[in-house]
Amino acid sequence: MKRLAIFFLLGIFSSQLGFADNLSVPIGTLSVPTDSEISIQLVKRFQYYNAHPENPDDHYDQSINSPKSVAVLDSKKKFYVNSLEGCSTSVYSLENFTLLKVIMHKFNAQNQYLFAKNSDSNFLFRTKKSRLNYFTGRPVEGCFSHHGKYLWIPYYRRSYDSNAVDPSALCIIDTDTDALVRVMTIASLPKMIACSPDNKTIAVTHWGDNSVTLIDITSGDPEKFTCGDNIVIDYRLSQNYSVNEKVDRDHNCGNCLRGTVFTPDSKYIFIGKMGGNGIAVLDVVHRKYIGTVTGMKTNMRHLVIKNSVVYISINNTGFVQKTALKGFIDHFSGTSKDEPYTQWESAYVGLGARTISIDKTGKYLFAAVNRESKVVVVRTSDMKVIAACDADSYPVGMDISENGQWLMVTAQGRGNLGGNSVMVYKVNYKK
């Protein structure tokens, strides 16, 4: 464990000095300590920064441009990477790790039929008055519905809306053909999206105005999916900015709603207040916001529920935390709901803890540590860090295959430094 401690100290030191701004980790890099009960090894990569890599498993890929997130679809042996600035989604084979297709999020006269079932009358557009659906979308996160039949991807903003104050949109992709089948109008600056386990509701969380949109998907037919309630968390954030005013939407975001997850029974949605404090709780059955639970560390980014345990990542201070789902629900349902909930166990993983994933057994948590450019493994039973591996500069997105064998990590970059990389780690279980 001394080696691991030194690894962490070096990571913090190098990130503070800016040494990790353009880090490119060699293929074959293995996590430390090497004798841990679980290890990860970088075995393949898709990147857009080195046109002539020496290793045959290091693939130069011009479709990778500020990759924000990755989603693995085990049933169809594919995974999808959303490139924010590339305005595209790259589709890869999970069998031979080749690029299958690049889906472009560009809308013009040829594909206006994708918007035919929409009604924009309830939305206020400030920056444009005509041809509202002629734009390029910047894909952020993604989720699957209907057992992987559809992939849902929200757009950070429409290309003509530089301040992300207008209504944005999300697309629905048929994963059989990897083609767009519909685009729906939603509120400003959506980031997270989640599907209920019962395949009845999609929740879209809006960083831009403190709201969550619930979409009815019970029909199973994209043409019949309907935007329902738009639920406000605490207060509606004003979007009344001047068109010519430059606005920092990364920080002018109110509660900065981020991590979003349904409970296994589909009755509640938990939403992290990254810019505030606590987890907002929505009652899905009654379509209402019922309050916020505090007591965990602040600046929460991601939430995952696995095996009746709630896991969260804390960005700035670099922790991951867990608590029993039942205890958390009992707290906000009981008489002490206004008191902080303190039954959290914590592990320090490194500054800038972003996306987290849990393996199929629920025994191991993986965290993308952005500011220290590494991937960390936590044993969930005692919340102990047991391994860590270098990553290309500024990892942010992550997903793990259902069999627990492959861990995909995206490095987006920060301020035009680093990033433009999708790393494939092989997970090895000692036992």
91 vs 88, 116, 146, 192, 225, CA distance in Å?
A: 10, 26, 19, 20, 25
Average pLDDT over residues 241-247: 75
What tokens does 174 get?
């048929």
Give pLDDT tens digits for 351-388. Answer: 999 999 999 999 999 999 999 999 999 999 999 999 99
Only one residue has tokens 């944005």, namely 168
Give pLDDT tens digits for 165-177. Answer: 899 999 999 999 9
- Write down the mean pLDDT value for the chain: 92
- What confidence score (pLDDT) does residue 12 get? 39
- What confidence score (pLDDT) does residue 13 get? 39
- What confidence score (pLDDT) does residue 68 get? 97
What are 169's strand-pairing partners?
A: 185
- Rounded CA separation 141/153 (Å): 6
pTM of the predicted model, to two decimals? Answer: 0.94
Average pLDDT over residues 312-324: 97
Of the pLDDT bands very low, low, confident and very high (cuts 50, 70, 90), residue 179 is very high
- Rounded CA separation 368/73 (Å): 20
Residue 214: closest CA among 194, 234, 198: 194
- What confidence score (pLDDT) does residue 378 get? 98
pLDDT higher than threshold 80 for residue 204? yes
More confident residue, 119 or 328: 328
Of the pLDDT bands very low, low, confident and very high (cuts 50, 70, 90), residue 241 is confident
- The answer to whether the CB of 259 falls within 8 A of the CB of 303 is yes
Give pLDDT tens digits for 86-131. Answer: 999 999 999 999 999 999 999 999 999 999 988 777 788 988 889 9
- What confidence score (pLDDT) does residue 20 get? 62
Edge-first strand order for the sheet with 78-83 is: 67-73, 78-83, 88-93, 99-104
pLDDT higher than threshold 50 for residue 2? no
Of the pLDDT bands very low, low, confident and very high (cuts 50, 70, 90), residue 247 is confident
pLDDT higher than threshold 80 for residue 158? yes
Of the pLDDT bands very low, low, confident and very high (cuts 50, 70, 90), residue 23 is confident
